Structure 1
Amino acid sequence: MEALDTILEQVEQLAQLMARHNAVQLELREGALQIALTRAKSAESIAHTEEAMPPLFVSGYAKPASAPEAPADDLWQPLAALEVRSEFVGYCTPAPIAEGNAVERGQVLATVEVLGIPNEVVAPLPGVLERWAVEAGQPVQYGQVIAYLRPLSET
């Protein structure tokens, strides 16, 4: 839970930095964690352009398409499920973890076999396995979603 709080604090700091420097988009990758931030344009600049950017969001934590737009002062969207992605190209074998079960940070979620060598894909933070995105023996590409993990503080 502390890890998630730390990540959220870092995301808030990045958003403030973007606002200070008038940046519209930022992408950050660290291990299995990937964050993309997009800042909404001000009402004044939207009036002068046809295309408006969506409100600030964290990649992998998308709101439903039918959800109402967030007010301008409430740019943060609640965290949904984190996409756990493969860092390898090979054949994936998910760990015997049932959907809905809790996992710990560093727990092996799947094994991707590359040239006969097994490589582990681990949970980046504690959470609940929401659903698998691959089946046993399925080939996976680099960056392909293997599972969806809901952070423990959101359950």
Structure 2
Amino acid sequence: MEAVTEWLKQLERLARLMSQRGVSLLEVRVNGAQVRLSRAPVEPAPHEEPMPPLFLAGYQNAAPPEPEETQSHWQPPGPIEVRSPMVGYCTLLPIEIGSRVERGQPIATVNVLGIPNEVPAPVTGTLIGWQVGNGEAVEYGQPIALIQPLTEEE
């Protein structure tokens, strides 16, 4: 019974988050169980990007696009935004700003219905800032952290 009560509390939190962020549909799958939360949109969004299905089993990080070569010499890229792979509550891992992180190293988790989903660093570099607070609600695609990739000399 306690598990059901906790499940309902998590659903209520997600419903509040949907209302705060203007999300009209959220589908969650956990261990074969599926829950679909929907509400009437308050106002139509001027531009909506399609949202990929939400999977709690893991997160596959897409490789960044290849940079176009417009000059004859290499220039280091700017900071890379690490984005939330799903809607939930973000827990920041204990990594100091200015610390080196390796590609694939978990830097945060996004918790959905009590299930933590790791958010890995997409590149090797230096953590230069957090974009959310620990325990803060995040939405799909919201920036979580900034990482400055290592240059060729490093």
TM-score, normalised relative to structure 1 = 0.52
| Paired amino acid for 1:31 | N
The residue correspondences of 1:41-120 to structure 2 (distance < 5 A) are 74=71, 78-120=76-118
Change (3 A) 1:32 1:96: farther
* Paired AA for residue 145 in structure 2: A
Please identify which structure carries the higher helix content: 1
* Whole-angstrom distance in 2 between the partners of 1:36 and 1:100: 26
Q: Give the % identical residues.
A: 52
Distance (whole Å) between structure 2 residues aligned to residue 138 and residue 95 of structure 1: 13
Moved over 2 A (4+): 30-37, 73-78
Corresponding residue number in structure 1 for 2:132 = 134
For 1:32 and 1:139, the matched residues in 2 are separated by: 23
- Asked whether the equivalents of residues 32 and 87 of structure 1 are also in contact (C-alpha less than 8 Å), the reply is no
- Offset of residue 104 of structure 1: 1.1
Partner of 2:145: 147
Aligned residues: 93
Structure 2 gaps, min length 5: 1-59
In the TM superposition, what is the alpha-carbon distance from 1:101 to its structure 2 partner?
A: 0.3
Work out whether 1:31 is the aligned partner of 2:29: no
8 Å CA contact retained: 2:108, 2:118: yes
Aligned-pair distance for 1:77? 6.3
Rounded Cα–Cα distance in structure 2 between residues aligned with 1:78 and 1:125 = 13
Give the letter aligned to residue 103 of structure 2: R
Query: 5+ residue gaps in structure 1?
Result: 1-29, 38-55, 58-72
RMSD of aligned Cα (Å) = 2.5
For residue 35 of structure 1, report the CA deviation from its aligned partner: 3.7
Q: Distance in 2 between matches of 1:103 and 1:127?
A: 6
- TM-score under structure 2 length normalisation: 0.52
State how far apart, in whole Å, the 2-side matches of 1:93 and 1:84 are: 14
- Give the whole-Å Cα distance in 2 for the aligned partners of 1:124 and 1:36: 14
**Distance in 2 between residues matched to 1:110 and 1:130, nearest whole Å:** 14
8 Å contact from structure 2 (residues 76, 151) kept in 1: no
Question: For each residue in 1:89-135, what CA deviation from the matched residue of structure 2 results, as whole angstroms up to 9, or x when unmatched?
Answer: 10001111011000111111101100110000001121100100010
Q: For 2:128 and 2:100, locate their aligned partners in 1 and report how far apart those are by CA, in whole Å.
A: 9
